[in-house]
Structure 1
Amino acid sequence: MKNEMLSVADVSVRINDGATMVIAGAEELLRQLPKGKWIGGTTVYFVTDQGGAVVRDKLFCTTFDRVAETDMRYVDVDALPTIAEGYKPNGFTMIMIPAFSVAHSNFAVEGQTYDNLFNQPLAGWITGVHLDDLGRKAPMIFDGATGQGHDEGAVLLHVGLPADAKADLDILNIFAQGDREDLTFRFKKDGFVASSVEVNGEEVDFATYIEENQIDTRLPLVANYSGAMVNVSIQSVDTVSGQVKFYAPVVAGVEYRMANALGSYAQAFAEGAGNTGEGQYSCNCILNYLYGELEGQRTGNFTGPVTFGEIAYILLNQTLVRMDISDTDAA
């Protein structure tokens, strides 16, 4: 697997040579690419070899070099539950979904119920735009088989690996549940919006609670799913309407706690990653990029797109998703 920042011309040569790729970049660049074995999505934020950066004139490309078979497909909102129907034997699937789309919402809330979704690694991200373009430009996804762009639905790259290779999918979450075990949050409904929450069993107006307790909304709510820490990030707090909006849905009945405050984001990622990351697929959250002031800073050896949500089977926030292709264990 190779990660590179390439010009449109260089990417086009790679595609025409038959490479299997996932590609991230500005919409106007993705529209220039020829048809081939690739899927793409829009973002202009990246973590590069030199650190976090806004890049508008090149595309970030991950090329998979151990491939037995490949299929690309676009699915509309109604067909999202069929994601696993394209899974290849001994393979993995890459997925991209546009931010703020119906598909984004439906996958976030219902994805974990899709048949056979967890039967193989499913990795990818929610596409975005420059923050200055929010509301003016739609995040896009591209199906390399047709070359067409879409602002709704999902694009999928199904890859089958040779028998001597395997895909390993993991997340790097630098947040943990806060130290206060006596401060817990539970919601009565699933969803991206909440007006009330049970704090230590007592129902309160969530927006008012956040304001009165001066909660730092740059820190996510964290749930412990059998040892895996899963974040739900707060998008906005409106005490007038009484609504708190999230970047990923809260799940009814699950216990959440506020994350502990961090020192340096970049240092936390570097320490969490160790010397890993080189030669792996990865994507990192736009909130980490912004709150951690990652522009110009590296996060270990990981490079890749900065996204409006990360996918490792389910939708995640403020998380780095990573996938490695390695040799199968000797029998």
Structure 2
Amino acid sequence: MKNEMLSAAEAAQRIEAGAVMVIAGAEDLLAQLPKGAWIGGTTVYFVTDEGGAVVRDKLFCTTFPEATGAAPRFVPVQELEGIATGYVPGGFTMIMIPAFSVAHSDFAIHGQTYPNLFNQPLAGWITGVHLDDLGKRAPMVFDGATGTGHDEGAVLLHCALPEGRSVDLDILNIFAQGDQEELTFSFPEGGFAAHDVIVGGERVNFARYLEENKVDTRLPLVANYAGALVNVSIQSVDENEGEVRFYAPVVAGVEYRLARALGSYAQAFAEGAGPDGVGQYSCNCILNYLYGELEGQKTGHFTGPVTFGEIAYILLNQTLVRLDISDAA
């Protein structure tokens, strides 16, 4: 695959030539693109070859020359559980969902229960806008089959691969669980917000707990799913209402720990990313971009959109998702 920053005109030429593409950029640029084998989503934050940057005049384009075919597809909210019905045997699927949408919430909370979701690699991200535009502009996704933009639902690109090719979908999480007490949320506290949490068998107000323990809320909650560490990032703490809001849902009954503090966020991320990433698709979290001060800094050879959530089968936070296509062993 190939990652490039292209003008809207250059991207349009690729699409018209039949390229299979996943595209990220400003809404006005995506709206200029012709119909074809592509999907797109809004963001103006990127990690480029020169480092992290806000880019409004170009599109980040990933081309999949390995694909023997691709079918873009828009899925409304009420049909999200049918994501896997478009899977191509032996292929992979790319997905984009607008931030703050009903689809975002439904996928985050119920995605793990969608029939056959895990039957092939599913990678993608939650689209966003410049932080100055929050509440003013809606994050969008674009369906290349029609060229239409949507602020609700999901867009999918179901890609076919020739025999002898394999897909590796992986995540890079620089966080580890800390040594603090286990935190457990009980029904009905599971979801994008919580008032109470169970600590050492005692129910306490979570906002008060974070304040009393002087927790750095840039650090996520981390759950261990059979060896895979999955983050839930803290969005806001309202002490007056006693409510903590999250960028991804907490799951009732799952044991979380606050992440171990990092000596240097930027250094930890750079070391974790390492030298890999050439020829791979990747997306990185806006919180990594902000907290890690990645503007102007490189993340190894990983380039791609900076997003409001990452998808590697399920919704993730503060995580780099990477997808690679190679010859099967």
1:296 and 2:313 aligned: no
Counterpart position of 1:165: 165
Contact 1:175–1:259 under 8 Å retained in 2: yes
**Aligned mates of 1:142, 1:92 — CA distance in 2:** 19
Q: Aligned letter for 2:162?
A: P
**Aligned mates of 1:139, 1:273 — CA distance in 2:** 28
5 Å-filtered alignment, 1:65-144, equals 65-144=65-144
How far off is 1:164 after superposition? 1.5
**Aligned mates of 1:24, 1:117 — CA distance in 2:** 24
Contact 1:266–1:299 under 8 Å retained in 2: no
Q: Unaligned stretches of 5+ in structure 1?
A: none
How far off is 1:241 after superposition? 1.0
5 Å-filtered alignment, 1:244-263, equals 244-263=244-263
Q: Aligned letter for 1:6?
A: L
How far off is 1:37 after superposition? 0.5
Contact 2:269–2:292 under 8 Å retained in 1: no
How far off is 1:200 after superposition? 1.7
SS in 2 for 1:279: coil
Counterpart position of 1:154: 154
**Aligned mates of 1:67, 1:317 — CA distance in 2:** 28
5 Å-filtered alignment, 1:4-43, equals 4-43=4-43
How far off is 1:21 after superposition? 0.3
**Aligned mates of 1:178, 1:261 — CA distance in 2:** 8
Counterpart position of 1:52: 52
**Aligned mates of 1:267, 1:90 — CA distance in 2:** 38
Q: Aligned letter for 2:13?
A: V
Runs ≥4 in structure 1, deviation > 6 angstroms?
none
The CA deviation string for residues 82-130 of structure 1, in whole angstroms up to 9 with x for no partner, is 0000000111000000000000000000000000000000000000000
TM-score (norm. length: structure 1)? 0.98
Q: Aligned letter for 1:188?
A: S
SS in 2 for 1:157: strand
SS in 2 for 1:209: helix
**Aligned mates of 1:162, 1:92 — CA distance in 2:** 12
Contact 1:77–1:103 under 8 Å retained in 2: yes
Identical aligned residues as a percent = 76
**Aligned mates of 2:260, 2:75 — CA distance in 1:** 39
How far off is 1:266 after superposition? 3.3
How far off is 1:280 after superposition? 0.3
SS in 2 for 1:78: helix
Q: Unaligned stretches of 5+ in structure 2?
A: none
Q: 2:183 aligns with which of 163, 182, 185?
A: 185
**Aligned mates of 1:277, 1:94 — CA distance in 2:** 18
Counterpart position of 1:145: 145
Counterpart position of 1:269: 269
Contact 1:87–1:120 under 8 Å retained in 2: yes
**Aligned mates of 1:92, 1:142 — CA distance in 2:** 19
The CA deviation string for residues 135-190 of structure 1, in whole angstroms up to 9 with x for no partner, is 0000000001100000000000000110021111000000010134xx11000032
**Aligned mates of 1:121, 1:267 — CA distance in 2:** 30
Tell me whether 147-156 or 261-270 shows the greater mean CA deviation.
Answer: 261-270
**Aligned mates of 2:282, 2:201 — CA distance in 1:** 38
The CA deviation string for residues 167-219 of structure 1, in whole angstroms up to 9 with x for no partner, is 11000000010134xx1100003200100000122100111111111111000
Contact 1:207–1:239 under 8 Å retained in 2: yes
